Amino acid sequence: MRHRVLGGTGIEVSPYCLGTMMFGFVGNADHDECVRIIHAALDEGINFVDTADMYSAGESETIVGKALKGRRDDVVLATKVHFSMGDGPNRGGNSRRWIVREVEDSLRRLGTDWIDLYQVHRPDHTTDIEETLSALTDLVRQGKIRAFGCSTFPADQIVEAYHVADRRGLQRFRTEQPPYSLLARGVEKDVLPAAQRLGMGVLTWSPLASGFLTGRYRKGQALDLSRGRPTLHPDRFDPSAPRTAAKLEVVEQLVSVAEEVGCSLPELAVAFPLAHPAVTSVIIGPRTMEQLRNTLKGTSVMLDDAVLDRIDEIVPPGTDVYPPDGVWTPPPLTTPTLRRRPAESRPAA
């Protein structure tokens, strides 16, 4: 695999990154098999591994640490911080208090002295971005992390963070990790262009759209909801839901495109994000060895302009067939008090 430089850091990474969200009790609880999957990915030329503290409550990081013993120097290791890791109001978020504590736990679980890319997993409206950038800058200077980035941040907050870092003399986010797939192209409108303008690396997640681009779920066929992602989020796979029907309708059209190309639907899906000039690496997240092997077949697929034009006709650029699962939602949309004046201060009609 040809390596690409990650966001001007000088760190070279493979165009495919091994995601480990499915390693641990939420996916594959067999540590030995997970270690074998990681080793197989490394043997195939992948040198980039992405995990997070909250994946299986730290179990994923522990598995990755086991797998990298004796191979740590050859791997670019990324993890994340933000989501709650226990009871209590200060065991999550983007505060200095939590970041400087949780990085130590991640280092311990990973069995390493440093993290190559430490990412803020989601925005935190309760913490000033300067506070977060300051804490991360200190961790770089201490040698505990080499660079830091953000994940699933909207474009306006990416730009705000850039200017705060510039004004305050802090180091800046070097990467962004957004959801991006054939079914979810919304980031093409602003997130990917912003990352390009700011010289950020981009590692995208969910190229298989939570399983809908694996070919397992087809229109007119009974959906197997007994294994994989449907067991975690059955509502997202409800065949009677209009959103599910819309996904299945588009999947049928994309299957035809894959057949024209001479590849499978998942091979088409993992090849698609790399066609965008802003994308550095695509995260693939297998649960089994078979899934890894099948996904890696897509690394040899090259999409020409005619194929990309056909895809644009099916899913227009910058549009989402469905809101990507797990994206950040601005608090004013979920908390009424953040978008409404107190009743006593509202002007009379």
Q: Would you say 161 and 192 are in contact if contact means Cβ atoms under 8 Å apart?
A: no
Provide CB contacts within 8 A for 265, sequence distance 6+. Answer: 213, 214, 215, 251, 254, 255, 258
Average pLDDT of the segment spanning 38-57: 97
Q: Which CATH number describes the domain made up of 4-215+270-303+316-334? A: 3.20.20.100
Measured torsion, CA atoms of residues 199, 196, 129, 48, in degrees rounded to the nearest 10 = -70
pLDDT number for residue 150: 98
Q: What are phi and psi of 58, to 5 degrees?
A: 95, -15
Q: What is the pTM of this model?
A: 0.94
Q: Would you say 186 and 319 are in contact if contact means Cβ atoms under 8 Å apart?
A: yes
Active site residue 55: yes
Q: Which of 55, 118, 162, 322 is catalytic?
A: 55
Chain position carrying tokens 């522990």: 62
Q: Where are the domains of the chain?
A: 4-215+270-303+316-334
Using one digit for the tens of pLDDT, what is the confidence trace for 86-99? 998 899 999 999 99
According to DSSP, the residues that pair with 17 across neighbouring strands are: 283
Exposed e or buried b per residue across 299-330, where buried means at least 16 C-beta atoms within 10 angstroms of its C-beta = bebebeeebeebbeebbeeeebbbebeebbee
pLDDT number for residue 346: 76
Q: Lowest-pLDDT range, 63-77, 151-165, 333-347?
A: 333-347
pLDDT number for residue 349: 62
The string of DSSP letters for 28-77 reads B--HHHHHHHHHHHHHTT--EEE--TTGGGGHHHHHHHHHTTTTGGG-EE
Q: What percent of the chain has pLDDT over 90?
A: 79
Q: Would you say 170 and 143 are in contact if contact means Cβ atoms under 8 Å apart?
A: no
Q: Would you say 287 and 112 are in contact if contact means Cβ atoms under 8 Å apart?
A: no
